[in-house]
Amino acid sequence: MSALPVFAYAQYLDYAAVLVFALTGALVASRAQLDLVGFAFIACLTAVGGGTLRDVVIQRDPVFWIGDPTYILIAVAAALVVFFTAHLVESRKRWLIWLDSFALAVAVPAGVAVALAMAQPPLIVVLMGIMTGCMGGLMRDVVVGEVPLVLHQGELYVSAAFAGALLAALLDGGGIDRVVALGACGLATWALRAGSLLFGWSLPVYKGRPPRA
């Protein structure tokens, strides 16, 4: 086992996930042409949404950003940076997609780490990884009226989060060092998401027959 407790790694991962997800939230706010308060709101919602739901579900007390308001300050700072610099970015959609992929690859192991630190069973570990990685971005897109990246047809998103979280749970169950397991989780999540974006990797989608008249 690594020298640092798992909660310490979870905290570092949460910091990173909050920062990158806040940047994506602010980019979405710029596409929606919101004011500065709107930027901060969407950035904070995106940054802490998944982790908040995770902590509520597994009854972590206090919720991570209430216990440490620095997370909110990081999200607001990210919103300010994007508010004054977004006009310099040529393709905000492209930046959004790739930043979101990195955020997913950090947030999934963050959720896994919290669940492992709270001695949750493997199934809950996997679900908390998926929830932490996917729900903030889903909230962001729904609030601004965009089609959620999570639901883009055929793309690996939730599937990537599931694979990464499952890998971490299996490695931890096999006695592998948790730092290694979390690193493998993030790498697998990002590799699948990036492969979907670059090479069109996807799962089969349902194609039902048209309804009878």
Residue 17 lies in a domain: yes
Q: Please name the residues in contact with 62: beta carbons below 8 A apart, sequence gap of 6 or more.
A: none
| Residue 42 lies in domain | 6-199
DSSP string, 96-156: HHHHHHHHHHHHHHHHHHHHHHTT--HHHHHHHHHHHHHHHHHHHHHHTTPPPGGG-TTB-
Residue 66 lies in a domain: yes
pLDDT tens for residues 111-137? Answer: 999 999 999 999 999 999 999 999 999
CA separation for the pair 88, 166 (Å, rounded): 39
* Cα→Cα distances 83→70, 115, 138, Å: 20, 34, 21
pLDDT value at 191 more than 50 = yes
CA separation for the pair 56, 78 (Å, rounded): 25
Residue 175 lies in a domain: yes
The per-residue pLDDT for 213 is 55
Residue 170 lies in a domain: yes
pLDDT value at 3 more than 60 = no
Residue 210 lies in a domain: no
Residue 205 lies in a domain: no
Residue 209 lies in a domain: no
The per-residue pLDDT for 1 is 43
Domains in the chain: how many in total? 1
- The proportion of the chain whose per-residue pLDDT surpasses 70, expressed as a percent, equals 94
pLDDT tens for residues 148-189? Answer: 988 887 789 999 999 999 999 999 999 999 999 999 999 999
Q: Name the region of 189 (left: φ>0; alpha: ψ -120 to 50; beta: rest).
A: alpha
**pTM exceeds 0.75:** yes
